[in-house]
Structure 1
Amino acid sequence: MTYVIGVDSGGTHIVGQALTLAGEILAQTQSGPGNIFLDQPQTISNLTTVVTTLLQKLGRDDCQYILMGIAGVETTGNGAQVAADFTAKWQLPTYVISDAQLALLNGLEGHDGTLVIAGTGSVVYGRQNQQMWRYGGWGQLLGDTGSAYQIVAEAMKMLLKDYDLGRDSELAAILLPAFSATDPKQAVKHYYQLSRKEIAAVAVKIAQAAAAGNQAATNALVTQANALADEVLGLISRYQQPIPEKIAFSGSVLVHNSFYRETLLKKLQNVHSKLEPIVVSTNNGRGAIFWSRWHQVNA
């Protein structure tokens, strides 16, 4: 059976999938980190392991091509060389794009449109007429609007405002235990000792409290969803008319929290009523099956 290989090479791990062009996963494997800017030798080694494992399992003769989306490749600027090296190594057409482009390709199934990613961090991507744009994604200090991290930061600011005004906060029962604190001052101390990922994990507790009727927690979610919507609208403003109507949602915050996703979408559709939402729940390696919609591949 003929197949293609899609590789999603991200900062924490690499996932490789062998798929039929109909999208059936024939095999999957993964390896360690895959940000080529942070550690090129290790990334190349891990990519080699992932692809070699799939080729050994399914046979090289039936593989049509390999598509890799590699974190950091836009910064290093060596995607063409990496693709050429791997093409020579396996004697198979190998294409290299960024992990963001692969996410866009998968989320929109090769069509033009917008991709909104909100997990620990956030970023917005768009594509129209073979041109790609990005909005946000500048890390927790300068961006990551609407991300799990910023939802927690928003809730903490609300808690501290209540504390400064000498009033009780609905958020105290959520945030003080989450940060192993007995009062807001201790919560701040512990907050600054935690990693970005550890802080972002508290967003689940805020979402649970909102679902249970905690109005302050709900307000934190709405504030960040609307802020993220503003960034999406900023990216959409760069499109030519008529704008692409497909919009894909990816990342844990948008995939798993329907209230948050619907709040975001409502603000977007107030401006662009014909936007068509897509929730992305597949690994981005699946994007390989849509590659021909971006570029002609002789398969």
Structure 2
Amino acid sequence: MSVEAPARILAVDAGQTGIKARLTGGGMPAERLFPGILTHQPLFPQLARVVREVLDAAGAGPGVTVTAGVSGLTDAEADAAALLAVIADPRARSVRLAHDSTTSFLGAIGTGVGAVVAAGTGVVTLAVGPTRVARVDGWGYIMGDAGSGYWIGREALDAVMRAYDGRGPRTALRSAVEARWPELPQAYIALQSADDRVSIVASFAAEVARLADAGDAVAQSISERAGSELAHSVITALVRVDAGVGEPAAVCAIGGVLRSGHVRHAFETRVTAGHAEVHLAEPRGTGLDGAVALADLPAQHPLSAHVSTATA
């Protein structure tokens, strides 16, 4: 009796901070980490390079299914056939492509009912009800991403410049900013001209978390407001999909921003106070696990309508 070889899946979790890839099905999973998406450059060539590098490094043969969850994926970009064409590699047999809110949800909750907020450099919330799906925020650093690492960093820079002008209270955040730009009045010029300005701004979120723990009132206020914004998005999403009606809906909060104790406390306090039928849950897995799960997502699941598929 022949034993069918396990399907090979090349899963990609693509964000602005980094791109993670995992090749499964050929023995021990092989994982790689690449630099994050450059939002000012075309997306598909960046993903295609990652796919080909992983396949080359693993010496993979034909029949690989590529599954990808991508931060900031627009409706126009959600075209698996177009990505498959750009990959242009006979080893890639098919592609399943989705916004990373979908893969974050699958990794954290699986195919159940609830909401996941994923807060890193950017942020997006996805809720899945019995029949409907709702995405809240994820509108990028210019128009949205409230409570994200970028949002926190931007609030920190604003607070520092307000203090410098005399428009706001003093804060230890000033020292953190001056460590990067000793000539504070010239900082905005250097920042605006930097290609990686989004990640630079988001990097200050770690200083906000550290100084909030150290007792800086401005850093604490920023952290608490970030947690409140994230909770507001979750509550809104749950209401839109009728999740938590009759039984509590699972709520997962993932991403580096939630490592801040002040952010997480504010988030959990508002979520539980603002929507009675929820229970806070630890994530089952990561966004990369969710990308792997795209390969076996049931066609009848509400999220299936949000996954683009193509086969060579």
Contact 1:83 1:95 in 2 (8 A): no
Match of 1:69 in 2: 69
Aligned length: 288
Instruction: Return the match for 2:216 from 202, 214, 217.
Output: 214
Secondary structure, in 3 states, of the residue corresponding to 1:105?
helix
Match of 1:278 in 2: 282
State the distance in 1 between where 2:200 and 2:111 align: 34
Deviation of 1:143 after TM superposition, in Å, equals 1.1
Q: Using a 3 Å threshold, how does the CA distance of structure 1 residues 43 and 94 change in structure 2: closer, same or farther?
A: closer
The higher relative CO (CA closer than 8 Å, separation ≥ 6) is in 2
TM-score for the superposition, normalised by structure 1: 0.76
- Which amino acid in structure 2 is aligned with residue 245 of structure 1? A
Match of 1:15 in 2: 20
- Which amino acid in structure 2 is aligned with residue 109 of structure 1? G
Q: Sequence identity of aligned pairs in percent?
A: 20
Contact 2:115 2:251 in 1 (8 A): yes
Q: Using a 3 Å threshold, how does the CA distance of structure 1 residues 42 and 288 change in structure 2: closer, same or farther?
A: closer
State the distance in 2 between where 1:206 and 1:32 align: 24
Deviation of 1:211 after TM superposition, in Å, equals 0.9
Contiguous gaps of at least 5 residues in structure 2: 301-312
Secondary structure, in 3 states, of the residue corresponding to 1:238?
helix
Deviation of 1:148 after TM superposition, in Å, equals 1.6
Contact 1:136 1:144 in 2 (8 A): yes
Q: Using a 3 Å threshold, how does the CA distance of structure 1 residues 113 and 83 change in structure 2: closer, same or farther?
A: farther
Contact 1:106 1:290 in 2 (8 A): no
RMSD, aligned CA? 3.8
CA distances 1:209-256 after superposition (whole Å, capped 9, x unpaired)? 1111212211111122212222222222201253561222222112x3
Q: Using a 3 Å threshold, how does the CA distance of structure 1 residues 238 and 28 change in structure 2: closer, same or farther?
A: same
CA distances 1:59-113 after superposition (whole Å, capped 9, x unpaired)? 768x8x5533355373234225656998994485653333332222112223232
Q: Using a 3 Å threshold, how does the CA distance of structure 1 residues 85 and 178 change in structure 2: closer, same or farther?
A: closer
Match of 1:249 in 2: 253
Contact 1:146 1:225 in 2 (8 A): yes
CA distances 1:257-288 after superposition (whole Å, capped 9, x unpaired)? 23312221111111124332324763514542
- Which amino acid in structure 1 is aligned with residue 170 of structure 2? S
Q: Using a 3 Å threshold, how does the CA distance of structure 1 residues 125 and 268 change in structure 2: closer, same or farther?
A: same
Q: Using a 3 Å threshold, how does the CA distance of structure 1 residues 42 and 117 change in structure 2: closer, same or farther?
A: closer
Q: Map 1:277-296; keep pairs closer than 5 Å.
A: 277-279=281-283, 282-289=286-293, 291-292=295-296, 294-295=298-299
State the distance in 2 between where 1:167 and 1:82 align: 48
TM-score for the superposition, normalised by structure 2: 0.73
